[in-house]
Amino acid sequence: MPPRAWLRLAPLGLGSLIVPLDSAVNIAFPAITAHFGLPLPAIQWVIVCYVLTYGSLMLGIGRLGDLLGHRAVFRWGLAVSVVAYLLCAHAPSYGLLLAARVLQGIGAALVLSCGPALATLTFPEAMRSRALGAYLLVIALGGALGPSLGGALVHAFGWEAVFWFRAPIAAAALLMLAGQPAAPRPERRGSFDLAGAALLALAVGTALLAVNQARRLAAGEWQAAALVAAALAALGGFLRRSRRAANPIMDLSLFGRGDFALVNAANALVNFAGFAVLLVVPFFLVRVAALPAWLAGLVLAAGPLGAVLASPLGGWALARLAAPLPVAVAGLALAAGGLALIALWDAATGMPLLVLSLFAQGGGMGLFQVTCAEMISAAMRREDRGVAGSLAMLTRTLGVVCAASLLSLLFDAVEAAALAVPGAEPQAAFLAAFRATFAAAAAVPALLLAPFLLRALRR
């Protein structure tokens, strides 16, 4: 494939970049709380409103893209995102900021649900894995650049900049797409199952919110239990609807075939384990390693850098191997090894080991995520590519949201138990919780190695 052909991915990559660049928003939390006079816990809703919206809508919108055309849906996502970024940056109150974040979540769902489909459909099927590798490279790159860009923008222009700086990026991608020849409309294969999409959105949204409120659920508060019940009821309704509908959101029988169920569950679990890095490592680098903030940021970037390098490498390997499972095994092994090395850190750990551990973990994540996207796409029909890409993104989101709540619970419980010992020192208690969290995280990809390795050896 000549290099010029890859330029067709440029507007897609630029447009998709706006979603992972949302990691810049986290850096603006202190400025946002100060501007609106918020208590610290209230800032979580900036993330919750956004993630719940795009997480609950992605799969249904992916199906809509399969019916109406992925490029049209992607362009609508860019247009909605431009408006949402400007509304976020100019929100006069915290309530309106949250409303604008919901709109931003809709734009992200429109972009993410059809981005992988467009990446794979731009090239022949033989190039599918390499196209997915290139697309996931952009996602990893955005996640790596977000925090550093966010810090510089907040310092120079204030918290509003973490929103408005993405508006011209989305607009530029929209203009670039307008200059390309229109893609042929897919043959219409039935109507859109609106009832099924609504039930699925309700199931995913209430489940994510229930996980977010896990602390209250552990305390026995009925509101969190009601969310769990609502999620289960909506999921049951979606399953019944999918069995009866002539054109369901997705063919659920796929989960009974081969490795499809395993790879989707593994994608959620691997992202669950990997999120421990973003959740806890920044505190270690500042509190235990005593690194200045700028150096801690550079060290933390070793993980996303590993993913950036591994994603196209994984796509290249998948295009040359007869089966994807060896690449998945390599990714799981690297991720487990990196997380296990992180669990061994202490105040005396040198900079080379810090960087190597994070780089290995990030590289393993990159390899596995490309393999996961490839296996899901290969298992589904070409005309269902929007649902395939959305499913890979949805399971990834489920893992991250669960980790944010459940790993925090584990860390807090171990730290509290360590501090309860007479004469306990805060740093020793922190390290005990840190090691327990990463030992648990490393166990997840390590345990997943067995089923993937067995399947790889049988083929």
Confidence of residue 432 (pLDDT cuts 50, 70, 90): very high
**Which of left, alpha, beta for 248 (phi over 0: left; psi -120 to 50: alpha)?**
beta
- CATH number of the domain where residue 334 is located: 1.20.1250.20
Instruction: Read off the pTM.
Output: 0.84
Cα separation, 366 vs 219, in Å, equals: 37
The residue from 167, 192, 217 where one domain ends is 192
Q: How many CB atoms lie within 10 A of CB 71?
A: 22
Q: Is residue 222 part of a domain?
A: no
Same domain for 66 and 151, yes or no, is yes
Average pLDDT (245-249) is 80
Alpha-carbon distances, residue 198 vs 105, 237, 283 (angstroms): 16, 10, 39
Alpha-carbon distances, residue 53 vs 88, 103, 104, 380, 451 (angstroms): 15, 8, 9, 25, 33
Q: Is residue 244 part of a domain?
A: no
The confidence score (pLDDT) of residue 227 equals 84
The confidence score (pLDDT) of residue 103 equals 96
Confidence of residue 407 (pLDDT cuts 50, 70, 90): confident
Alpha-carbon distances, residue 191 vs 11, 67, 110 (angstroms): 30, 8, 19
Tokens representing 294 are 């700028």
300, 358 Cβ separation under 8 angstroms: yes
Q: Is residue 325 part of a domain?
A: yes
Q: Is residue 154 part of a domain?
A: yes
> What are the tens digits of pLDDT across the range 83-93?
999 999 999 99
Same domain for 185 and 255, yes or no, is no
How many domains is the chain built from?
Answer: 2
216, 223 Cβ separation under 8 angstroms: yes
Asked which of 39-53, 146-160, 183-197, 201-215 is least confident by mean pLDDT, the reply is: 183-197
Domain carrying residue 265: 250-459
258 backbone dihedrals φ, ψ, rounded to 5°: 50, -130
Q: Is the pLDDT of residue 188 over 60?
A: no
> What are the tens digits of pLDDT across the range 256-275?
777 888 888 999 999 999 98
The confidence score (pLDDT) of residue 189 equals 57
In this predicted model, which residue has the larger pLDDT, 155 or 181? 155
Looking at every residue in the chain, the average pLDDT score rounds to 85
Same domain for 184 and 311, yes or no, is no
The residue from 177, 192, 207 where one domain ends is 192
Asked which of 4-18, 90-104, 222-236 is least confident by mean pLDDT, the reply is: 4-18
Among residues 250, 274, 272, which one has the least CA distance to residue 398?
A: 272
Q: Is residue 415 part of a domain?
A: yes
Same domain for 176 and 110, yes or no, is yes
The residue from 176, 192, 208 where one domain ends is 192
| Amino acid residing at 119 | A
What is the residue whose two structure tokens read 């849906």?
73
State which of 273-287, 346-360, 366-380 shows the largest mean pLDDT: 346-360
DSSP 181: P
Tokens representing 178 are 């307008």
**CA dihedral for 379, 263, 364, 454, sign (positive or negative):** negative
Same domain for 412 and 298, yes or no, is yes
Asked which of 47-61, 176-190, 240-254 is least confident by mean pLDDT, the reply is: 176-190
Q: Is the pLDDT of residue 309 over 70?
A: yes
Q: Is the pLDDT of residue 212 over 80?
A: no
Same domain for 29 and 144, yes or no, is yes
Tokens representing 310 are 């591994």
* Alpha helix ranges (H) inside 344-384: 351-379
Average pLDDT (364-370) is 90
Asked which of 65-74, 208-217, 276-285, 402-411 is least confident by mean pLDDT, the reply is: 208-217
433, 411 Cβ separation under 8 angstroms: yes
337, 364 Cβ separation under 8 angstroms: yes
Tokens representing 122 are 């731009």
The confidence score (pLDDT) of residue 181 equals 56
